[in-house]
Amino acid sequence: MNTNSSGGQPSPTTAAQGGRRRLILPHPIAVLGREHPELERELLAQLGPDCVFMMGDNPLLPKMPDRPQLLDFFRLRFTEFTRNHLLQSARLALRSGCDEKIVLGCLLHDIANGALIRTDHGYWGAQLIEPYVSEEISWAVRNHQALRFFPDESVGYGYPEAYREYFGPEYVPSAYIRQAYDEARNHRWYMSARLITLNDAYAFDPDVAVDPEEFTDVIGRHFRQPAEGLGFDNSPVAHMWRTMIWPNNLL
């Protein structure tokens, strides 16, 4: 059951669990600038013997395995839009003859958008994968964010038409993005990040479905899956994977 009491604003959701209502308080980052300020107080006022905050498995989400692997997040957590985009992008890279490390970079490049956060997604995505991939792959994922905004005619990459629509034709990237681009342009791994942007631009076809299993071998060779499962290996980013497993926990 969804409760929309805020006139089109993101609403708290409730899910029945063990005979109780479980309230979900949206994350601050998702509601800043658009939420009425009393939401936390409103939800606190609803608490009682039959109503608590969501903690643990949300019955409205598919249950994750105890030791989740990368593709479990693709199948059970990522939004369909991002899952398809990542898989299509990786397939394009594979079919255009890219090195496997680039294929993996394409498969992971927007991973932050899958179930975590879109803002500064290249940086979040690189951080998520850093313990598990080569330094070059995480560097490329981080820097695709800035490179997306800047053409490179030498490889046939132009400013994305979609961005004119998303941001308006007058949009100019922030100074930190310009600075990141300038630094990446002269880096020895520049072309790895550039190849991600090349395979990114055309990977939004709603009629193409790609089976994640297609990339099992590439993942096996280039992504160090922890035996304990992503989220439970005590890596510096384990909490980020746990946040995607239990995205509705209050704390």
Name the residues that contact Fe ion, by CB under 5 A: 110, 200
Q: Of 111 and 230, which has the nearer Cβ to Fe ion?
A: 111
Q: Are 149 and 163 in contact (CB under 8 A)?
A: yes
Strand order in the sheet with 51-53: 13-17, 20-24, 51-53
CB of 110 to Fe ion, least distance (A): 4
CB of 82 to Fe ion, least distance (A): 8
Q: Of 122 and 231, which has the nearer Cβ to Fe ion?
A: 122
Give the E-state strand segments of the chain in sequence order: 13-17, 20-24, 51-53
CB of 120 to Fe ion, least distance (A): 10
Q: Of 15 and 193, which has the nearer Cβ to Fe ion?
A: 193
Dihedral through CA 206, CA 208, CA 211, CA 214, nearest 10?
-130
Q: Of 166 and 172, which has the nearer Cβ to Fe ion?
A: 166
DSSP track, 78-118: S-HHHHHHHHHHHHHHHHTT--HHHHHHHHHTTHHHHHT--
Neighbours of 136 (CB within 10 A): 15
Handedness of CA 80, 90, 197, 120 (dihedral sign): positive
Q: Of 130 and 200, which has the nearer Cβ to Fe ion?
A: 200
CB of 105 to Fe ion, least distance (A): 11
Q: Of 110 and 130, which has the nearer Cβ to Fe ion?
A: 110
Q: Of 22 and 121, which has the nearer Cβ to Fe ion?
A: 121
- C-alpha 178/C-alpha 176 separation (Å) is 5
Q: Are 96 and 199 in contact (CB under 8 A)?
A: yes
CB of 95 to Fe ion, least distance (A): 17
Of 244, 141, 242, 247, nearest in space to 200 by CA: 141
CB of 212 to Fe ion, least distance (A): 16
CB of 218 to Fe ion, least distance (A): 18
Angle ∠(129,241,28) on CA atoms, nearest 5: 115
